Amino acid sequence: MMDHKSKRIAILSPVAWRTPPRAYGAWETIASNITEGLVDHGWKNVTLFATKDSITKAKLVSFVERGYEEDKSQIPLVSTCLHISKALEKADEFDLIHNNFDYLPLTYLPFIKTPMLTTIHGFSDPDILRVYRDHKDTYYVSISDADRDSELPYLATVYNGIDLSNLTFRETPGDKLVHYGRIHNDKGTHLAIEVAKKCGMDLIIAGIIQDQRYFDNLVKPHLNDSSIQYIGPVNPVQRDALLKEAYAVIHLNLIPERFGLVMAESMAAGVPVIAMDLGSCREVIADNQTGYLVNNVDEAVRAVAKIDKIDRRKCRKRVEENFTIDCMVSKYEKVYEEIFRREEKC
Amino acid sequence: MMDHKSKRIAILSPVAWRTPPRAYGAWETIASNITEGLVDHGWKNVTLFATKDSITKAKLVSFVERGYEEDKSQIPLVSTCLHISKALEKADEFDLIHNNFDYLPLTYLPFIKTPMLTTIHGFSDPDILRVYRDHKDTYYVSISDADRDSELPYLATVYNGIDLSNLTFRETPGDKLVHYGRIHNDKGTHLAIEVAKKCGMDLIIAGIIQDQRYFDNLVKPHLNDSSIQYIGPVNPVQRDALLKEAYAVIHLNLIPERFGLVMAESMAAGVPVIAMDLGSCREVIADNQTGYLVNNVDEAVRAVAKIDKIDRRKCRKRVEENFTIDCMVSKYEKVYEEIFRREEKC
């Protein structure tokens, strides 16, 4: 058997943000973690396609200077299609293209010979299934068992792996409730506020405002300088400081979670998570062990009351055993091997 | 020399609207006119790639049921990229692909062998030049001499050709000012209102509202049941009735016009046009002969006062000699021949 680790792997990252992102940017974070993890695992020919200001130990190839979310003079689709098409123009130089940039790369599949693995980081709208379902002869990975389309052929579920280096485990809980991620109705920021008020606890909110009207109407009116604060987006260092304050993280998502990086990060810091029982939450959290799955605000309030029953070391351990970069890359290695096996048969 | 009219031509139309569109849809209109015109000129192998509900005498191939502007359940980019990629997957079946759908098809050029001619129907934003300038080894046509990027290699300017069948020439002028097209600041609807008020003439406004806030703030407050009316979008039959009412068409565009179908249609009906001297307007209108080029509202008001100096038959004649489907298709035939000549040399 040829040494797989000599195979030429292209990781296609999005170009919304730098890879890795400075603050927000979940897909770029995972694309970066896969790339760096492969290099750390001894893969010798890894190329990252990402913005020019990206940082990697692999080879970086770029056609777009900066992320279109960071440089608003760009039309997102212009940067997106240039990035994808010019990367795929080099398809013959690789043994595998690992696509982390949604559905548009799939439309170039009929024109290239190199196998493509697409990690579906989420179905942003049911309509994008038209593209996925049009390409059933390619390779897919889901990021949770919950986030699957019944018609697509998946090779595996590979949970997102997070970088633990800025997630300090702390056995002693903080005294505040914390809610972070992107501020949007889908993430239930307003429900976190309700929970905090009903518990009579302080709440710190962090993250980018993805829906300004939602923020203005349902979040901003509740903010004050003491009990309910919004501190803006946080980078990994700021996030670590934030989680130090946390008694629990409140994550009452209103749509099914696809994976839920926030939950994994929180548990890595030893912080139990109270999450809505929707989508992947019950795959990430071990109910009653590393947090509580709830169905509404009142259940969340009752869950806060029994947070002291959670062993914070179990939270950390769950992440170490399931959601590290090392775990993720090991699983992707198996997926890559399976693809190489199938392609050799062809 | 092989008979060019046996060559296999693919016309790639947009899928925002049906081809031809029911009302608004300039790019689909031209794509339709090219397709039907080629068939009328005796081309034997013309294929139109457009929405499934499109109407053509050529062969229709569709991957999208309805226009994404007519069926809002679609994500425009999903329909767009499926339409383009699946059409270009068939590239080998054609001798020439005539792209009328903007820049995204160009990103598939490295993967196909068939020559592509792109009619650039407009630069919607300077940033899209990144894609065009990245593909200088393909074929471009501009729709006016004014609407050119200095860095791109153009084969020709081919003016848009319009269907005269629903544009009745009328020697007798109507008694109203008319403004139509898409309602947007770029098209100066508010300036047409100013002109009408200063002239003390009635104004009829027609067209789709492209910017609702603009309409609500700068158009709606001036509307009444008599002197200034908005009648909504018009189909070709309604447009013909509208132009019957017209003493002149007021077209005080605030950005350079790329071509200006409205001006050609108006002249076809014998209606002189008062247009801002920006972009292609001085190519479409013969100043002092078929209308007046102006620089502001006051000049437009003075132009209205001398409309009776314009010979309405000259308006019609200018269109018949320059802006018919027949003129356009004859010019495209020359462009196609030039492409075939160049490709044979390769």
Q: Scan for tokens 């605030």, then name that residue.
A: B254
What is the pairing mode between strands B273-276 and B291-294? Answer: parallel
A244 min Cα distance to partner chain B (Å) = 41
CB atoms within 10 A of CB A316: 21
Chain B contact probe: residue of A62, A66, A72, A78 with most B CBs at under 10 A: A78
Instruction: Write the pLDDT tens digit of every residue in B149-200.
Output: 999 999 999 999 999 998 999 999 999 999 999 999 999 999 999 999 999 9
Give the nearest chain B residue to A73 (CA atoms): B127
Closest approach of chain B CAs to the CA of A276, in angstroms? 28
- Provide, as residue numbers in chain B, all residues whose Cβ is less than 8 Å from the Cβ of A77: 77, 104
**What's the complex ipTM?**
0.89
Instruction: Report how many Cβ contacts below 8 Å link chain A to chain B.
Output: 62
Rg (CA), chain B: 20
HEC readout, A128-157: HHHHHHHCCCCEEEECCCCCCCCCCCEEEE
The pLDDT tens digits for A28-65 are 999 999 999 999 999 999 999 999 999 999 999 999 99
List CB contacts (< 8 A) between B104 and chain A.
77, 81
Please name the residue of chain B whose CA is at the shortest distance from the CA of residue A113: B111
What pLDDT is attached to residue A152?
97
Would you give the distance in Å from CA A294 to the centre of its chain? Answer: 22
**Mean of pLDDT over chain A:** 96
Cβ–Cβ below 8 Å for B73 and A127? yes
Question: B82 in contact with A at a CB cutoff of 8 Å?
Answer: yes
CB-based burial, A100-122: b 16+ in 10 Å, e otherwise: bbbbbbbbbbebbebbbbbbbbb
Q: Rounded distance, CA A72 to CA A344, Å?
A: 44
The full DSSP string for B26-77 is HHHHHHHHHHHHHHHTT-SEEEEE--TT---SSEEE-S-SS-TTT-TTS-HH
Contact by Cβ (8 Å): A323, A159: yes
Closest-CA distance, A129 to chain B, in angstroms, reads 9
* Residue of B52, B62, B75, B89 best to disrupt the A interface, most CBs of A under 10 A: B75
Q: What is the pLDDT of residue A259?
A: 95
Whether B85 sits inside 8 A of A107 (CB atoms) is yes
How confident is the model at residue B2, as a pLDDT? 58
In the prediction, which pLDDT does A2 show?
58
Residue in A75, A103, A108 nearest the CB of B127: A75
Average pLDDT, stretch A270-288? 98
Q: Does pLDDT of A1 surpass 50?
A: no
CB contact under 8 A, A75 and B103: no
Residue of B nearest to A125 (CA): B75
Name residues 242-301 of chain A within 8 A of B (Cβ).
none
Strand-by-strand arrangement of the A154-157 sheet: A59-61, A45-49, A8-12, A96-99, A116-120, A139-142, A154-157
pLDDT at B87 (0 to 100)? 98
Confidence at residue B293, expressed as pLDDT on a 0 to 100 scale: 98
Q: Beta strand A273-276 with A291-294: parallel, antiparallel or unpaired? A: parallel
Q: How far is A15 from chain B (nearest CA, A)?
A: 15
B82 and A112: CB-CB below 8 Å? no
Angle (CA) B308 B311 B312, round 5°: 100
| Res B124: pLDDT | 87
Instruction: Flag residues of chain B having pLDDT under 50.
Output: 1
pTM for the structure as a whole: 0.90
The amino acid present at A297, given as its one-letter code, is V
